[in-house]
Amino acid sequence: MRSTSTGTTAVLRSICPDSRKTRAGFTLIEALVALALLLAFVSVVGPHLFYARRIADKIDDRIAAQMLLRTILDAPFDRSGLANGPREGETGGLRWSIAAEPMFVDAMVPQREEATPVPADKNRQPATKRPNWIAFHLVATVSWAPGQMVSADSLRLGLGADE
């Protein structure tokens, strides 16, 4: 048994009588509208993509600088050399500097003015002078390009200048 639709084929035959003209595809106007929308989207999003790429290109330098900064702060250092002034250098294309400033706070260490009693039967030995510890504000900076730097602050104990 054969089924047919009533009226549908008659409507299609009246609009497009030739089967060659019913090919699928876009018209020139539709293609131009789609291209205009694509260009508008790219013009809005494009600068953000280029900026993100520039940041991603420089991320390797930032990571290397942060690793060097952490290494400088975690490395053992000469406590007596903190009062000698700033130090700087260059490692692998990264410039670094360390500056230490003494911090004087009256309430840090209470002064002991009482003399300790010395037993009479022991030989008198010269009293050893206790080291004069001072807190230093340490600022370490690493830069990899003009205007590009990372820095960190720390507090360290060091010997005073009279030692």
Per-residue pLDDT of the chain (163 residues; tens, 9 = 90+): 565 556 555 555 555 555 555 667 889 999 999 999 999 999 999 889 888 888 887 788 889 999 999 988 887 777 666 667 788 889 888 999 988 888 776 655 555 555 555 555 556 666 677 777 778 888 999 999 888 899 999 888 777 655 4
Q: Strands of 11-147 (E only): list them.
A: 87-91, 94-103, 133-145
pLDDT of residue 132: 73
pLDDT of residue 163: 44
pLDDT of residue 135: 81
DSSP 14-26: HH--SGGGG----
Taking the complete model, does pTM exceed 0.95, yes or no?
Answer: no
User: What tokens appear for 146 in the block?
Assistant: 């003009």
Tell me the chain's radius of gyration from C-alpha atoms.
Answer: 39
> Which residues make beta-bridge pairs with 150?
142
> Under 8 Å CB-to-CB from 131, ≥6 apart: which residues?
159, 160, 163
Rounded distance, CA 137 to CA 80, Å?
A: 14
Q: Which long-range contacts (CB under 8 A, 24 or more apart) does 105-109 make?
A: 105/135, 108/135, 109/133
Rounded distance, CA 83 to CA 163, Å?
A: 11
Q: What are phi and psi of 101, to 5 degrees?
A: -120, 135
SS3 139: strand
